[in-house]
């Protein structure tokens, strides 16, 4: 794995607008990819989340959500430091650090020997006039130009449960190709559960294009909803 700083990713300022995350880039204030996905959720998904909260109780639901968010932030921090070559080796000996163990699983099974070239880590990407976001990593993965997202989970995932993950990959890859004239043809999810089970999911070629197009429809839906307010 080596770094190739062939692309210059913009600096951005994140802000909250009406409770939703936005990015200020090149004098544009753009909604985040996650904001668009949240605002365009299907009624079925909204109902499923509401049913889960009712089943476990609001206090427990918030605890689970906050624990997952904290764990995910910590795991991403370890992975970013690894990609940048700044990972404190002393942390490797911390047997009680669950986030570090999860990051190690992703490094050993999903990164080493597979991520050949890194263009950016925690790179800000944007589609002018439409949206912006931060991709976990991008570069050459198993010989293909790729967007990579790191995920953590309480339990293993099935492919039918992770459409939003694929939509994120579609959004980031499309933005990168539009702004930098790159040829990203693959998106990869590298996931680890709290029990240290590693999973990877890939979308390529026409399937990636399909998710790019689905996300663009959600962008249109988002702005249509915005204009009705």
The pLDDT of residue 54 is 83
Encode pLDDT of 7-18 as tens digits: 999 988 888 887
pLDDT at 95: 47
pTM of this structure = 0.91
205-220: average pLDDT = 97
196 in a structural domain: yes
Asked if residue 102 is part of any domain, the answer here is yes
3-class DSSP string for 174-219? HHHHHHHCCCCCEEEEEEEECCCCEEEEEEEHHHHHHHHHHHHHHH
Number of domains in the chain: 1
| The two three-digit tokens of residue 108, written as one number | 């050993």
3-state secondary structure of 56: helix
Q: Which domain holds residue 182?
A: 2-6+25-228
The pLDDT tens digits of the residues spanning 76-108 come to 999 999 999 887 654 444 545 889 999 999 999
Q: Is 53 within a domain?
A: yes
CATH of the domain at 51: 3.90.320
Contacts of 178 (CB under 8 A, 6+ apart): 127, 128
Q: Is 135 within a domain? A: yes
Q: Is residue 122 part of a domain?
A: yes
Which of the four pLDDT bands, split at 50, 70 and 90, describes residue 38? very high
Instruction: Compute the chain's Rg from CA coordinates.
Output: 18
Sign of the C-alpha dihedral, residues 47, 49, 50, 56?
positive
> Closest Cα partner for 162 from 133, 200, 131?
200
Give residue 217's pLDDT: 97
Beta strand residue intervals within 41-162, DSSP E:
115-127, 131-141, 144-153
- 13 in any annotated domain: no
User: What integer best gives the mean pLDDT of the chain?
Assistant: 90
Residue 20, domain member (yes or no):
no
pLDDT-wise least confident of 23-32, 69-78, 129-138, 215-224: 69-78
> What pLDDT, on a 0 to 100 scale, did the predictor assign at position 223?
94
Using one digit for the tens of pLDDT, what is the confidence trace for 124-160? 999 999 999 999 999 999 999 999 999 999 999 999 9
Percent of the chain with pLDDT over 70: 96
Other C-beta atoms closer than 10 Å to the C-beta of 122 total 15
Per the CB < 8 A criterion, the answer to whether 159 and 169 are in contact is no
CA distance 60 to 66: 10
């Amino acid at each position: 794995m080596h770094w190739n700083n062939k692309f210059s990713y913009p600096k951005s300022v994140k802000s909250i607008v009406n409770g939703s995350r936005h990015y200020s880039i090149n004098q544009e204030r753009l909604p985040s990819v996650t904001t668009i996905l949240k605002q365009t959720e299907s009624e079925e998904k909204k109902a499923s989340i509401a049913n889960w909260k009712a089943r476990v109780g609001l206090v427990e639901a918030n605890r689970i959500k906050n624990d997952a968010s904290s764990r995910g932030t910590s795991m991403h921090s370890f992975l970013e430091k690894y990609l940048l070559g700044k990972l404190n080796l002393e942390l490797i000996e911390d047997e009680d650090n669950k986030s570090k163990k999860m990051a190690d699983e992703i490094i050993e099974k999903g990164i080493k020997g597979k991520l050949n070239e890194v263009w950016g880590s925690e790179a800000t990407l944007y589609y002018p006039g439409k949206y912006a976001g931060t991709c976990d990593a991008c570069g050459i993965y198993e010989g293909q130009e790729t967007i990579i997202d790191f995920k953590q989970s309480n339990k293993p995932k099935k492919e039918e449960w992770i459409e939003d993950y694929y939509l994120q990959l579609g959004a980031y890859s499309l933005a990168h190709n539009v702004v930098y004239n790159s040829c990203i043809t693959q998106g990869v999810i590298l996931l680890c559960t709290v029990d240290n089970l590693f999973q990877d999911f890939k979308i390529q070629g026409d399937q990636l294009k399909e998710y790019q197009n689905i996300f663009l429809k959600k962008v249109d839906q988002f702005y249509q909803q915005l204009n009705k307010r």
